[in-house]
Amino acid sequence: MGHGRTLEYPKTPVNRVNRYNQRATYDLEQIHTIINTSTVVHVSFNTPDAANPFPVTLPMVGVAASFEHPSASLGEPLDIYLHGYVSSRLMNLSRNAGGQGAPDSASPPPPAQGLPVTISATLVDGLVLTLTPNTHDVNYRSATVFGYASLVTTLEEKLWAMEQVTNSVVRDRWRHTRVPPDGAEMQSTSILRVKVVGGSGKVRVGGPRDELKDLKRDDIRDTVWTGVIPVWECFGEPVAYKGVVEGDEKANRVSSVPEHVSEFAREMREQNEKYALATVVDTSQD
Amino acid sequence: MGHGRTLEYPKTPVNRVNRYNQRATYDLEQIHTIINTSTVVHVSFNTPDAANPFPVTLPMVGVAASFEHPSASLGEPLDIYLHGYVSSRLMNLSRNAGGQGAPDSASPPPPAQGLPVTISATLVDGLVLTLTPNTHDVNYRSATVFGYASLVTTLEEKLWAMEQVTNSVVRDRWRHTRVPPDGAEMQSTSILRVKVVGGSGKVRVGGPRDELKDLKRDDIRDTVWTGVIPVWECFGEPVAYKGVVEGDEKANRVSSVPEHVSEFAREMREQNEKYALATVVDTSQD
């Protein structure tokens, strides 16, 4: 905080966080970190079907990264790469929106630049228990970015993005597997690149914040427990695949869990617990 | 599974799960359970601003329940109640959409029945590590429901819904706090009722599913570890609020953690771990 220059997404009517401004963040590093820490993000978009007023929301695996500037840090402008399947609705819409879409003279859109999508990720860090229901709260980190999704078309960027996506789920996994994907695999997999145009985040940390009217009543203070139940995503001990039946031909043959897997699970477990416990006593927003 | 009659959401172009049908579910009980198990859900909706093509997505606390039929089980039709603040954008849009909205003669909508919203929740249960990146997968439970959001206007339903929402975050918490909310609190809090018109879910369980081309290659089988890293939401030991500084006037005064809090945290911790570990060896979809 306050160390050097940090980049922020511009505040616009689209991304402005109206409630609890003290929890809002527009900091690129913080927003990108929340997205890359989440195993799954939610991707929302509208279908061209005018009779359907509901956005479609899909859980997907995604990662913030830059193909043009692979060494970019999380605090720099990044694209979001999403992994999907050639046949999926989102991929088809992005293909249609990415190139020579039919011009819409009724309400001239910006030049066809991809399908508008909203990507959201939320990590729950704790349940905040206070004197009265209205002051109960949740410690959490949430990020939303807006952008235009297009299919990645060059083999080089697609292969690079597949590696980024794989390693965003399990650190350093790519090079410990059978790579590169063969021709059929490259064809059956689609990668979406979302050019981000804005974003925002919300973060809540700390303990209960009760109101004076309750804090000064002994009858309430002496009977209602206040505190935090810390919550974190726990990564358990890796379980080798034993196959469906005894002696299964498909079972894992490597005798011990490799370090890139065991270390990753252990570090995630420790790091997530540590963060959740730290938010309980964080006083930066009190 | 297969015990008696279960209700399902109808399959329509809006909610049809196209990829991996073996993972799709339209079962009300399963979908409502996923939503009520998630501490936070993502709520997506469109703004009336024609220049903004991006759905807005907000993390919110929500619960599936029925005010008209309070004893309804999770397998029966339910509304989704969302907790919010009077001033928020979602609440304002729902207020405007709920009643006498201006008729739109260009594309006649159904009678104004609330703001169209999409509610999504995803729980990650494990990371599935296979022989090659393309077969890597995630064990998860995901639910999406579509419906029309309106503000709850009667005091009776609002109070009831506030209790449901509170107890959906921490079981049985409501009656252990200072209730009922006073007049100012009732006014500053809004509750949205979403009349659900459809929904679907996706569930992935089990171990790695590799392809024959890799399974028959000894060089790959002997070097690439396959298995699952189980993942679950861990609820830690409740931490009493000590206040920001020593001797803080605001600190918790109840000497031991009450049973409704400690038991809840313990049960959630055990139950979530148990579910994640069970999905590793679940063979129902193999």
- Least Cα distance to A146 among A44, A27, A76, A7 occurs for A44
What are the structural domains, with CATH classification, of chain A? Answer: 2-280 (2.30.110.10)
CA-based nearest residue in chain B for residue A260? B225
Is B232 in Cβ contact with A234 (below 8 Å)? yes
Residues 6 or more apart in contact with residue A265 via CB below 8 angstroms: A235, A236, A237, A238, B229
Say if A104 is an interface residue toward chain B (CB within 8 Å): no
- Least Cα distance to A116 among B90, B116, B44 occurs for B44
Q: Between residues 199 and 228 of chain B, which touch chain A (CB distance below 8 Å)?
A: 202, 207-208, 210, 214-215, 217, 220-228
- The answer to whether B241 touches A226, Cβ cutoff 8 Å, is yes
Q: In this structure, what token pair is assigned to residue A268? A: 């995630």
- Min Cα distance A285 → chain B (Å) is 10
Residues 6 or more apart in contact with residue B259 via CB below 8 angstroms: none
Is A118 in Cβ contact with B57 (below 8 Å)? yes
For position B169, what pLDDT does the model report?
Answer: 96
Q: Is B198 strand, coil or helix?
A: strand
CA distance A86 to A94: 11
Q: Is A276 strand, coil or helix?
A: helix
For position B15, what pLDDT does the model report?
Answer: 63
- Min Cα distance A157 → chain B (Å) is 16
Say if A17 is an interface residue toward chain B (CB within 8 Å): no
- Least Cα distance to B94 among B140, B45, B146 occurs for B45
Helices (H), B46-109: 89-98
Question: Residue A101: which pLDDT band, with cuts at 50, 70 and 90?
Answer: very low
Say if A259 is an interface residue toward chain B (CB within 8 Å): no
Q: Is the pLDDT of residue A113 over 90?
A: no
For position B167, what pLDDT does the model report?
Answer: 97
Among A14-28, B52-66, B176-190, the minimum mean pLDDT is found in A14-28
- The answer to whether B257 touches B170, Cβ cutoff 8 Å, is no
Q: Which residues of A28-46 are buried (b: 16+ CB within 10 A; e: fewer)?
A: bebbbbbbbbbbbbbbbbb
Mean pLDDT score, B84-94: 78
Is A178 in Cβ contact with B225 (below 8 Å)? no
Is B122 in Cβ contact with A40 (below 8 Å)? yes
Q: Is the pLDDT of residue B85 over 80?
A: no
Tell me what the pLDDT averaged over chain A comes to.
88
For the segment A145-175, what is each residue's pLDDT rounded down to a tens digit? 999 999 999 999 999 999 999 999 999 999 9
C-alpha A42, offset from chain centre: 8
- Residues B16-22: contacts with CB within 8 Å, 24+ apart? B16/B200, B17/B200, B17/B202, B18/A87, B18/A88, B18/A89, B19/A85, B19/A87, B19/A88, B20/B202, B20/B204, B22/B285
Is A185 in Cβ contact with B224 (below 8 Å)? no
The DSSP bridge partners found for residue B8 are B27
Say if B124 is an interface residue toward chain A (CB within 8 Å): yes
For the segment A194-225, what is each residue's pLDDT rounded down to a tens digit? 999 999 999 999 999 999 999 999 999 999 99
CA distance B169 to B59: 14
CA distances in angstroms from B269 to A205, A207, B249, B263, listed in the order given: 21, 21, 32, 10
- Min Cα distance A127 → chain B (Å) is 8
Q: B-chain residues within 8 Å CB-CB of A226?
A: 240-241, 252, 254
Q: Is the pLDDT of residue B79 over 60?
A: yes
State the sign of the Cα–Cα–Cα–Cα dihedral B58, A270, A74, A90: negative
Q: Where are the beta strands (DSSP E) in A166-269?
A: 189-204, 227-235, 239-240
For the segment A115-141, what is each residue's pLDDT rounded down to a tens digit? 999 999 999 999 999 999 999 999 999
Q: B-chain residues within 8 Å CB-CB of A81?
A: none
Mean pLDDT score, A57-77: 96
In this predicted complex, what is the ipTM? 0.90
Is A233 in Cβ contact with B124 (below 8 Å)? yes
Question: Residue B86: which pLDDT band, with cuts at 50, 70 and 90?
Answer: low
Is A14 in Cβ contact with B52 (below 8 Å)? yes
Mean pLDDT score, B149-168: 96
Q: B-chain residues within 8 Å CB-CB of A129?
A: 170, 173, 238, 261
Mean pLDDT score, B47-52: 88
Tracing tokens 């297969």 back to the chain, one arrives at B2
Biggest CA-to-CA distance, chain B = 71
Mean pLDDT score, A182-187: 94
